Amino acid sequence: MVNGVFIILDGLGDQVNKQLNNKTPLEAAKKENIDKLIKYSEAGVLDTVGPGLVPGSDTGHLSLFGYEVEKYYRGRGIFEALGSDIELKEGDIAFRLDFSTVDNGVIIDRRIGRNDFGLEELLKDFESIKEKIEKEYGINIIIKHGVEHRGVLVIRGLESEKVTDNDLHEENVKVPKILYKEDKAKETAEVLNKLIQDFNSFANNNNINKMRKEKNIPVINYLLIRSASKYKELDKEDKFYNRYGVKSIFLANPPMYLGVAKYVGMDTYKPLGTNGTSNENLFSFSEAAVSLKEKYDIVFIHIKGTDSLSHDKKPLEKKKFIERIDRELIPKLVDNFDLILITGDHSTSSILGRHISDPVPVILNYENNRYGFVKNFSERKCVKGTLGRLKGTDIIKIYLDKLGKYIMYGS
């Protein structure tokens, strides 16, 4: 039996940077272990969603799993909810939720200083007010806190998710009301605005926020919501196992990624001691992957730090983080797996601080492969590899063939 590991380094691809002597962070990084591997690997680049399209992390992952986003993408909210262990029911409307600080209708801090002190207690106190709204509209409202300012909101019992966000991704601007985009969504907008308003009134007079003020950290008094998405379970025959005949598990830390994997029907696992940041405990990932390899055909590994450092415009730290991945994540995987793929879900520019459409490099290592031409793992070198430039949804099919679980068309 062939054991496969499929490594996704979030936002791996980047732009050429003058600070790095006209190299990308990946090019500038010293990565002995990956480069040893690439010498005998097939290499190429992937347009995860399609040439010129800027992928999200959600659509990038769906594509790498082989699901065409045009057909399968229904918005990010449901992935956040699934990844936060909320059991979604058909028709549930899910949102990404950020706890934030608003003063006089103006957004002061979108992330409550990334400090969640007292947040759980605050939500407990809010319970009775939330219940009043639930009764009034005959609905269920689930608010779940994740890490720092992050959370999920799910509403069960409303018809349409077609409403605007109130998160403008900016600070020092007035927070807008939620608006409905179709008549059927009028009640959804009404419920959301009431929930936000009631939370704000409640929180402004709450003891927790007095304590936060004393501690000089931003108060928690506002709900920013975005990425509305209505849940519909994936058809049974479309689930990853039924579609491809392989058992797979997805290792990651942040809920959203675990949610995408759950959505397509993979098992998921958050390795112990991981945190989804650039201080990631990379050893935990390789240990977990090896311990799971006998039970699964494919172990997916998702590492978030590369993307966060790009968003924070830290190309040098991104380079160093890649070097640490090379030292701490890769060796044990190379020793234990027969089929190794390394790629990203999209490129993120550490100059622009945003996702960009440039393809991501990919390498594929297995026995008797058509290796050649590429000696360093990088955005530009991989273009020269034997895989060429492929669409994101193609790579899983190629991978399955190498795993011996090929899709034959014809006879």
> In this structure, are residues 355 and 27 in contact, taking their beta carbons and an 8 Å threshold?
no
DSSP characters over 292-306: HTTT-SEEEEEE-HH
CB of 17 to a second copy, least distance (A): 7
Q: Kindly report the backbone phi and psi dihedral angles of residue 280, in degrees, each rounded to the nearest multiple of 5, phi listed first.
A: -55, 145
For residue 5, the minimal CB distance to a second copy (Å) is 18
Q: Which stretch binds a second copy (CB under 8 A): 134-142, 230-238, 280-288, 392-400?
A: 392-400
Within 202-221, which residues bind a second copy (CB under 8 A)?
none
189, 178 contact by CB (below 8 A): yes
**CB distance 379 to 362 below 8 Å:** no
- 375 touches a second copy (CB under 8 A): no
The reply to whether 357 sits near a second copy by the rule CB under 8 A is yes
Q: Is 313 in the site for a second copy (CB under 8 A)?
A: no
Least CB distance to a second copy at residue 68 (A): 11
Nearest to 27 by CA among 350, 388, 357: 350
Q: Does 410 bind a second copy (CB under 8 A)?
A: yes
Cβ count within 10 A of residue 74: 18
Number of residues that bind a second copy (CB under 8 A): 59
Which residues pair with residue 222 across a beta bridge? 100
Candidate list 31, 76, 262, 304; residue touching a second copy; CB under 8 A: 76
CA–CA distance from 154 to each of 57, 229, 233 (Å)? 21, 9, 15
Q: Does 248 bind a second copy (CB under 8 A)?
A: no
Which region among 54-62, 119-127, 140-148, 276-284 touches a second copy (by CB under 8 A)? 54-62
Binding flag, residue 158, a second copy (CB under 8 A): no
Instruction: Say which residues have a Cβ less than 8 Å from residue 260's Cβ, sequence separation at least 6.
Output: 58, 61, 62, 65, 79, 83
> Is 57 or 221 the residue whose CB approaches a second copy more closely?
57
From 110-118, 199-207, 318-326, 355-363, span contacting a second copy (CB under 8 A): 355-363
Alpha helices by DSSP H, 264-361: 282-292, 305-311, 315-324, 330-336
3-state secondary structure of 206: coil
For a second copy, the closer of residues 41 and 286 by Cβ is 41
Q: Does 277 bind a second copy (CB under 8 A)?
A: no
170 forms part of the interface with a second copy (CB under 8 A): no
Distance CA 403, CA 1 (A): 8
Closest CA to 316 of 3, 21, 10: 21
Q: Is 59 in the site for a second copy (CB under 8 A)?
A: yes
Options 203-211, 318-326, 330-338, 347-355: segment touching a second copy (CB under 8 A) = 347-355
Does 340 contact a second copy by CB under 8 A? Answer: no
| Binding region for a second copy (CB under 8 A) out of 175-183, 235-243, 328-336, 394-402 | 394-402
Please report whether residue 368 would count as binding a second copy according to CB under 8 A.
Answer: yes
Strand 42-47 relative to strand 347-349, pairing:
unpaired
Residue 271's φ and ψ, nearest 5 degrees, are -60, 145
Q: Which is nearer to a second copy, 227 or 268 (CB)?
A: 227
CA-nearest of 224, 222, 225 to 209 is: 222
C-beta of 201 vs 406, nearer to a second copy: 406
Distance CA 64, CA 283 (A): 24
Residue 285 binds to a second copy (criterion: CB under 8 A): no
* Residues making contact with a second copy (CB under 8 A): 15-18, 24, 45, 49-60, 62, 69, 73, 76, 227, 349, 351, 355-358, 368-373, 379-380, 383-386, 388-391, 394-401, 406-411
